[in-house]
Amino acid sequence: MADFALGVGSIYGIKIELNALFLLLSLLILYLSTYLFMIWVLLFVCVLVHELVHSITSKWNGVTVKKIVLYPLGGGSIIDTTGLKPETEFRISIVGPIASLLLAMLFGIANMFAPAGIVRTTLQLLFMLNIFLGAFNLLPWMPLDGGRALRSYLQEKRSFLDATRLAVRASNVITVLFVAGTIAYAFLAPGFSFTYREFIVLFDVVIAFIIYSGAQSEMQSAVIKENIADLYARDAATKNYTVVKSDMRVEELYRKLLKGSAHIVLFKMGGKIKMLSNALLQKTPKAKLAGLSVGDLGADIPSVADNLPLYDAIEKMKLEESGIAVVTKRGRLFGVLLMPHIESIVALHMSQKHKQTNK
Amino acid sequence: MADFALGVGSIYGIKIELNALFLLLSLLILYLSTYLFMIWVLLFVCVLVHELVHSITSKWNGVTVKKIVLYPLGGGSIIDTTGLKPETEFRISIVGPIASLLLAMLFGIANMFAPAGIVRTTLQLLFMLNIFLGAFNLLPWMPLDGGRALRSYLQEKRSFLDATRLAVRASNVITVLFVAGTIAYAFLAPGFSFTYREFIVLFDVVIAFIIYSGAQSEMQSAVIKENIADLYARDAATKNYTVVKSDMRVEELYRKLLKGSAHIVLFKMGGKIKMLSNALLQKTPKAKLAGLSVGDLGADIPSVADNLPLYDAIEKMKLEESGIAVVTKRGRLFGVLLMPHIESIVALHMSQKHKQTNK
């Protein structure tokens, strides 16, 4: 359920999705207070602007944008990082927090002209929230914008792995300061009730933990990227699939599957390689199914060239949210990538590397 | 996360697990009120007794008990239903609610001798809760105990499919009455606040929906069971695996996987067929991994005979919570069952059946 997201349309050709927990929390807030809900919506319009600035800058720099997702704790622009140059990543990262600070300025100015009352209070609140949004994302805090910007800057004179290592180290310092600061503030500042104090500390510790985990995961990815730089999509490809014709009748397909030759069924249609979709098979009414052909039951899957670095192939599969991809060699089917199999290959490859360096 | 469960020990050789949502809700209740938490714990001790009576009766009747799981809305005894006789299922189902009614009687009697105050109030509450627990589970409401008991009784003179169809029909009548009754009670009974009313209706509708879905799923299973009665484990088995020796070094395994011959690696160890575990590969430190053999990285997977009805094989895989199983023929490896592949085979088989009956 945490993976579920509701598509709500697209802006400037960029799909916008609302994460399930975000929706749930929004409903809860609406139930608690209409004013709080209005602030919540306005805040997330600001978050959306922040993300749109990331995404539009990506597009301008020729980077494919998959979508923007809004989570309870902020937004995310899902972009294709394959072959992303450090200077491009720097530009994409830095424009988001700058946009938030500009928004804050606008709200600050508007606030000066607004009459006292709920409008001015709201403008002041939005001013503060956008200052926060901008400032937090300027801190060198991986995997937030500032952390990414720092890493791409460090890459000027360092490898990706070394730059990531330094940026993650800086992040961890900030995480420690953030938690220590929260605890000090909550317990030394006067006038907080016990429950409120507990709540701030808990909330900030959760945020710190999420950011810390994100930084560790960036570090892990960098280590893997470095270690499998000599592996290509073809190395992890398996040959365990059957290719059939797209006009094969379902009856014939059934007889073929009963023979147990393969459980991954591929076919070519309209110049693209597609996969027999188990989900479609389940969903189609049985009476209708009998009259169909394999071509009616296909799912699109990502396709990568055999000489694409394996790391980029993994990133592409993650981007497309697919556990499977086809590998082509000079336009012809070469093999199939399966995420668990890739993971096994990567683990084994890294163990062999380790052995060599220890010799 | 909804699938996560915490093992807390075992009683009479039966493993007890607490579902993640159950744990979360328990913590929330503890946070709200210590007394409520105590009642909650006592209630679930009663639910556990109810489930233990199911499970122990199962064992006495030679039925394998996998475990008992406690969920926010009740408990479940996970038993092996392969070849379960209707009269045995009737006995196993009916003893649970009877145990709850006996417990209610005990609390009722104890209440008469208890001094007025919190002890008596608690005993009265437990009396009421167990009456509910017993009565609800005596209603012919699939998939609760009473529904199962009714179905097994109906099987005396009917097929499994027809008995299920009748029992599900009875269930649906009760579901409609339950929802209508809740709405009538909440809106006609005086003295409820608006929020409280909303809460009861919402809670009961959620319960009704869960039970209704459970009944539909029982119906679907019965249709599948009837339709694939002529399919056996061997029919859905695929031959896509590599068999290696358990003493194969990790280095050699890596070279083999790079060749892309197969992504499922099986090996024999101690007379059992095991599978190379991707999870273990990921978890093992890379430095240690290089020194291991395939035998150190094995996971147990269920094993079924080639002539086991496919439906029973599916039930066994669900019981063992495994998406994969090996099929053996006269003790030798025959093939591998993969859940998505089984689902495809079942869907295609049913479409072909449909075609035949419509001719």
Q: How confident is the model at residue A192 (pLDDT cuts 50, 70, 90)?
A: low
Q: Is A213 exposed, middle or buried (0-12, 13-18, 19+ CB in 10 A)?
A: exposed
Nearest CB partner across the interface for A263, out of B282, B338, B347: B338
A258/B237 touch (CB, cutoff 8 Å), yes or no: no
The CA distance from B286 to the nearest CA of chain A, in Å, is 4
Nearest CB partner across the interface for B348, out of A1, A254, A349: A254
The tens digit of pLDDT for each residue in A288-332 reads: 998 899 999 999 999 999 999 999 999 999 999 899 999 999 989
Per the CB < 8 A criterion, the answer to whether B135 and B146 are in contact is no
A354/B261 touch (CB, cutoff 8 Å), yes or no: no
A348/B238 touch (CB, cutoff 8 Å), yes or no: no
Average pLDDT over residues B277-290: 90
The tens digit of pLDDT for each residue in A164-186 reads: 999 999 999 999 999 999 988 88
Q: Which of A312, A316, A321, A323 is nearest to A238 (CA)?
A: A323
A354/B262 touch (CB, cutoff 8 Å), yes or no: no
**Residue A357 scores a pLDDT above 70:** no
The token duo for B170 is 């009875």
Topology annotation, domain B233-357? CBS-domain (3.10.580)
Task: State the pLDDT at residue B2.
Answer: 46
The CA distance from B299 to the nearest CA of chain A, in Å, is 14
With beta carbons under 8 A apart, name residues in chain B contacting A237.
260
Q: How confident is the model at residue A2 (pLDDT cuts 50, 70, 90)?
A: very low
Check the CA dihedral B161-B163-B168-B169 and report its sign: positive
Q: Is B280 on the interface with A (CB under 8 A)?
A: no
The tens digit of pLDDT for each residue in B3-54 reads: 678 888 999 999 999 998 899 889 888 888 899 999 999 999 999 999 999 9
Q: How confident is the model at residue A196 (pLDDT cuts 50, 70, 90)?
A: confident
With beta carbons under 8 A apart, name residues in chain B contacting A239.
260-261
Q: At residue B336, what are phi and psi to the nearest 5 degrees?
A: -130, 140
**Residue B90 scores a pLDDT above 80:** yes
Q: Is B344 on the interface with A (CB under 8 A)?
A: yes
Q: How confident is the model at residue B193 (pLDDT cuts 50, 70, 90)?
A: low
Give the 3-state secondary structure of residue B253. helix
Lowest-confidence pick of A266-270, A281-285, B245-249, B355-359: B355-359
The token duo for A340 is 């668990």
The tens digit of pLDDT for each residue in A101-147 reads: 999 999 999 999 998 899 999 999 999 999 999 999 999 999 999 99
Average pLDDT over residues B178-191: 84
Q: Is B228 on the interface with A (CB under 8 A)?
A: no
The tens digit of pLDDT for each residue in A214-253 reads: 999 999 999 999 999 999 999 999 988 899 999 999 999 9
Task: State the pLDDT at residue A189.
Answer: 75
Task: State the pLDDT at residue A1.
Answer: 41
Task: State the pLDDT at residue A193.
Answer: 67
Gap between the Cα atoms of B324 and B317, Å rounded = 7
The tens digit of pLDDT for each residue in B303-337 reads: 999 999 999 999 999 999 899 999 999 989 999 99
What is the residue extent of each domain of chain B?
1-138, 149-227, 233-357
Average pLDDT over residues A324-350: 93
Give the 3-state secondary structure of residue A317. helix
Q: Which of A12, A116, A96, A25 is nearest to A54 (CA)?
A: A96
- As a CATH number, domain A233-358 is 3.10.580.10
Q: How confident is the model at residue A286 (pLDDT cuts 50, 70, 90)?
A: confident
Give the list of residues 6+ apart from residue A271 with CB closer than 8 angstroms, or none. none
Alpha helices in chain A (DSSP H): 20-32, 34-60, 86-113, 118-136, 145-154, 160-188, 194-227, 233-236, 250-258, 278-283, 286-289, 310-319, 339-358
With beta carbons under 8 A apart, name residues in chain A contacting B261.
238-239
Q: Which residue has the higher pLDDT, B263 or A40?
A: A40
Residues in chain A, overall count: 359
The tens digit of pLDDT for each residue in B257-281 reads: 888 777 899 999 988 999 999 999 9
**Residue A359 scores a pLDDT above 60:** no
CB atoms within 10 A of CB B279: 12
Beta-carbon-side half-sphere exposure of residue A126 (alpha carbons within 13 Å): 26
With beta carbons under 8 A apart, name residues in chain B contacting A358.
287
